[in-house]
Amino acid sequence: MDRILVGSSGGQLLVRQAGPADATSIREFVCGLSARTQRFRFFAGVAPPSSGLLRALCGGSGRADILVVTDSQGTVIAHGMAADEPAAGPFETSVGLVVADSWQRRGVGAWLLSALVGRAARRGVGSLVLDVLPDNHVMLGIIARRWPGAPAERTADALVFRPAIGAATHPIPIPAFVTVGDLGGSHAAHRTAA
């Protein structure tokens, strides 16, 4: 199983692939998100998650790459997924991620996005699909830094970005507190807290 150890001042975090066995932990994670965080990720309040949503968040479809970040007690503190979608042109993947309110603005979400993008590139995915609410300024900032000038399509309630994976001119730096192991790629980076 792919693993990444992340050292923080509060102990170690584990980033790993998730699956159906994580349903209870992922359900508890979603139920612990604030209404605002749920809306930014799911565009609605979803706690408790329906059985269909929970199945999707756990990889029940078999076409999604799902990573969770857990704290030293095994509690899920972040969830990211890339659901592959065959397209007429290059292979696409829809990306969604969410970080527990108490862990936001620490670089966990940006780093999780980088991990998902790297893994998608290794699967041969050519572009991403990112649906973002217009008032989700944190995610819009991450996209603007990672894919400057990426065109966005406006839908009734969201901005939809479709950047090519190779177009990432500003990769997200690994936070100083992260120690990264191998996630199935050849570019493992290692940093420790100063």
pLDDT digits (tens, 9 = 90+) for 8-27: 555 678 888 999 999 999 99
Residue 150 has pLDDT above 80, yes or no: yes
Question: Is residue 177 domain-resident?
Answer: no
Question: Is residue 46 domain-resident?
Answer: yes
User: Which residue range(s) make up the domain with 98?
Assistant: 3-167
The neighbour count for residue 22, using CB atoms within 10 Å, is: 21
pLDDT tier at 3 (50, 70, 90 boundaries)?
Answer: low
How much is the pTM? Answer: 0.82
Mean pLDDT (the chain) is 81
Please say whether the beta carbons of 152 and 134 come within 8 A: no
pLDDT tier at 6 (50, 70, 90 boundaries)?
Answer: low
- Least confident range from 7-11, 68-72, 96-100, 124-128: namely 7-11
Which residue from 118, 149, 148, 144 is spatially nearest to 132, judged by alpha carbons?
A: 144
Q: What is the dihedral of CA 186, 176, 13, 29, to 10 degrees?
A: -100
Characterize the bridge pairing of strands 127-132 and 92-99. Answer: parallel
Token pair 């007429």 is at which residue? Answer: 88
Question: Is residue 182 domain-resident?
Answer: no
Question: Is residue 155 domain-resident?
Answer: yes
CA distance 153 to 28: 33
% of the chain with per-residue pLDDT over 90: 54
| Predicted confidence (pLDDT) per residue in 177-191, tens digit | 444 443 443 333 333
Question: Is residue 108 domain-resident?
Answer: yes
pLDDT tier at 61 (50, 70, 90 boundaries)?
Answer: confident
Question: Is residue 98 domain-resident?
Answer: yes
CATH of the domain at 114: 3.40.630.30
SS3 15: strand
Question: Is residue 187 domain-resident?
Answer: no
pLDDT tier at 72 (50, 70, 90 boundaries)?
Answer: confident
CA distances from 164 to 24, 118, 124, 167 (A): 34, 12, 12, 5
- Least confident range from 34-43, 60-69, 179-188: namely 179-188
- Number of domains forming the structure of the chain: 1
Amino acid at 69: V
